[in-house]
Structures are given as structure tokens and as C-alpha cells.
Amino acid sequence: MSPEAAAGLAVPAPGAAPVDGAGAAGRHLRAVPSRPLRVVDVAMFYGERSGGIRTYLDAKIADHARTGAYEHHVITPGAVESHEGGRHVLPGLRVRRANGYRLPLGVRRLHRTLLDIRPEVVLLHDPFWGPRGVAATAQSIDARTVAVCHGSSELDARGIPGPHGLYAPLLRLWLRRAYSRVDALMSVVDPLADCGRTANIPLRLGLHDAFRPQPDVPRGEDTVFVGRLARQKGVFTLLEAAATPGATWTLRFVGSGPAQDALQARAARLGIADRVRFEEFVTDRHALAKVYAGARCVVMPGEHETFGLVGLEAAASGARTVCCNTAPSGAAVGELAHVFAPGDVAGLAEAIGYARAAAPDYDAAAALAVRYAWPRLFADELAAMRHLAG
């Protein structure tokens, strides 16, 4: 690369006309004003204890601070409105027992904030905070809108009490309407069934630096679940597996959620309450990595995971993992994961037995951590955003 190009100057290609009308004699180069791509993430489900969405956004905020390769803004609901350093908090009402989630008070402030920021790319992380209006506002300022699919109609429907067979089709209709005006879809899995179109940008999910093999952490005897205690996460299937004949291990639930009381009651009815423990959600990534590393195995029992970041984090930390064979992160983890078929309690118990007996593979875990490092993934995402913005 020439010094001129490295300095961000406009240099004509071989055989091209002179830059900015400069003549052959005394030709000069003109500096082309440029600025980083301006990107906004809009996320309603950015709670105090939320999972994949918050993990992704916190990692992206850190990546922006480290590289400065793009101008980054995040818009989320909060207690009071504030706008500081690229973080835009709009008023919202707290939802009880929902991991600190807040429901935003309408969309007017959201549209006004987008008009103030004037981004080139807007990423929508859920289909409920006025997605069609956001797409229209983005279009009015010549921005592109990307719908980021973190869930699915099946996963969301199973989290609602009542007839799953009724909720799933209704949610599918909502998704298709909500995302009908966006310019692109970003997803780990194919969203065609839900959204009526395929993803043209992959959703890249990665790992914090804390999630690395830790052979110095003693491997304990507990089977560990980390995450939100909700029915759609497969927690009751895991509880049933703990009650199968021959299963004598202690089960630790690390997290919180609406199913905790029901899980405690079910454990008592199954006669295993003395082997089931509940612990608070661990927010610190380094502390969480030690939880993974110290487990005999980590189980991610949900059959409707759209990725399953816990499985990836645990495996990179050196833990043996168990996941349903429908979880995309199981394929990413490879031989570090032991899998079972959806709804197969005996198969889950068997997979846990194999995982508990298997020795850690720290070399494979280290390779996994390098392959899914956030900086590499965000560099790829930024290239895709620049291409989309034109």
C-alpha cells in the first residue's frame, strides 16, 4: 500500500483520470473526508440479567472502545432517559421477575433518537419495539435496517403459559409482519419458516476473553445448568433426568427466572430436593468461567435454542458439555459436547453420564476459544454492515 493510500488519500487507479481535476503537471492529491460507519443497536430485551442479547451488545461496546473502527450507539429501555457516550436509555417500566427487563413507553422517543443520531445501519434485536416504524424512520434518513433474530416462534411460544399450538402460528405471523420492511435479516439459523425469508447476514456469536481453559480450577462433582430458569430452556427435562435410576449427582441451577418455584416444588415431589441447589445469577465473566471450569459437566437441555451461548462458553472454559442435538452451538463445540434427542429424558441422563466420565480436552477448548474470539467476529460483521450500507 502506498503512503498516500495508507493516509486515507484518494489515489487514482492505474489509467484512471487525475483525482479532483489535477493536471499532469504539478498533480496533487486531495484528502477525502471520511468517518467510521455509524451503527445503532436497538434492544428492548437488554435487562440486568439477560442472556445472549446483552452478552452480544456488551461485547460489541467493548470492541468499539478497543478499535474505534465504527461509531457505535445502543438504544435500550431504562429507568430514566439519558444520552451519554453512545448509550441512549429511554424510559421503560420494569417487568416483575423478568431478569430486569423493561417495557419501553411507546416509540416516539425511539424515533426521535434515531433522527438525532442519523445512523447508516440500524440493528433491531427484537420484533416488538415498533420495528415497522423504525424501518420507515431509517428509510427516511437513507439508513439500512437489519432484523437480528435471537429467538424463534417455537422458543417464544413455549415460554407462554397456555396452548403452544395456538401461540406459535400467531408469533410467526407477527414476525413476518414486523420484519416485512427491513433490508436484511441476521441469524444463526435459517429464519425462513418464521420470517418468510432467509438470512443474508450471519449472526456471529463469540466468547469473552475470560472463557479459556482453566486446568488449575479443581473439577468438582456437580452437574451444572447456567441461565434463565424458564420452561422453554428445558429445565424440567433436566430435573427429570436427575431423578432417573442411577443418577446420584448434585444438580446446580445457576440463574433466576419464573420457573424457580415450580422447579423447587417438582424436585420435592420427585424426592431429589436434597440433590438440587439454586444459586444466584453470576454476572462477572471471570467468575462464571470458574463456575464452568469447576463443574463435572455443564448441561444446556433446551431443544429450541437458536444458538446456545452457554454451551460454547462452557466448552471453551474446559468443561464437558451436554446439549440437545438441535442446538447450533453443539455443532460448533464438536466432540466437546455430548448430545441427546429432543424430549428424551433417558437419553439426556445417559449423555450426562458420558460427559461426567469424560476427561477434559484443554487443547480443543483453547482452539475453540481462539476460533470464536469476539474481535475476529466483529471485524467480519463490520465488513458485512459496510457492504449493506453501500
For residues 252 and 289, the answer to whether their CB atoms sit within 8 Å is: no
Q: Which of 126, 56, 116 is nearest to 86 (CA)?
A: 116
Instruction: Report d(CA 134, CA 69) in Å as an integer.
Output: 25
Which of 171, 203, 235 marks a domain boundary? 203
8 found inside a domain: no
For residues 186 and 145, the answer to whether their CB atoms sit within 8 Å is: no
pLDDT-derived band at 273 (thresholds 50, 70, 90) equals: very high
- In this structure, the answer to whether residues 227 and 358 fall within a common structural domain is yes
Q: Mean pLDDT over residues 254-276, rounded?
A: 96
- In this structure, the answer to whether residues 179 and 313 fall within a common structural domain is no
Instruction: Report d(CA 50, CA 123) in Å as an integer.
Output: 18
Q: How far is the first Cα of the chain from the last one, in angstroms, to the nearest whole number? A: 23
What share of the chain in percent tops pLDDT 70?
A: 88
Grid cell listed for 383: 465488513
1 found inside a domain: no
386 found inside a domain: no
Instruction: Report d(CA 257, CA 264) in Å as an integer.
Output: 12
pLDDT digits (tens, 9 = 90+) for 136-195: 999 999 999 999 998 788 877 776 777 777 888 999 999 999 999 999 999 988 899 999
Q: What is the mean pLDDT of the chain?
A: 88
Q: Which of 190, 188, 148 is nearest to 57 (CA)?
A: 148
Structural domain total, the chain: 2
- In this structure, the answer to whether residues 91 and 42 fall within a common structural domain is yes
377 found inside a domain: no
Paired with 90 in beta bridges are 77
Tell me, what CATH number does 125's domain have?
Answer: 3.40.50.2000
* 310 conformational bin, left if phi > 0, alpha if psi -120 to 50, beta if neither: alpha
381 found inside a domain: no
- In this structure, the answer to whether residues 61 and 130 fall within a common structural domain is yes
Residue span of the structural domain in which 146 resides: 37-203
7 found inside a domain: no
pLDDT digits (tens, 9 = 90+) for 318-331: 999 999 999 989 98
- Alpha helices by DSSP H, listed for the chain, are 3-6, 52-67, 108-117, 131-140, 153-158, 164-178, 192-195, 235-242, 260-270, 285-293, 309-316, 328-333, 345-357, 362-371, 374-389
Is the pTM higher than 0.95?
no
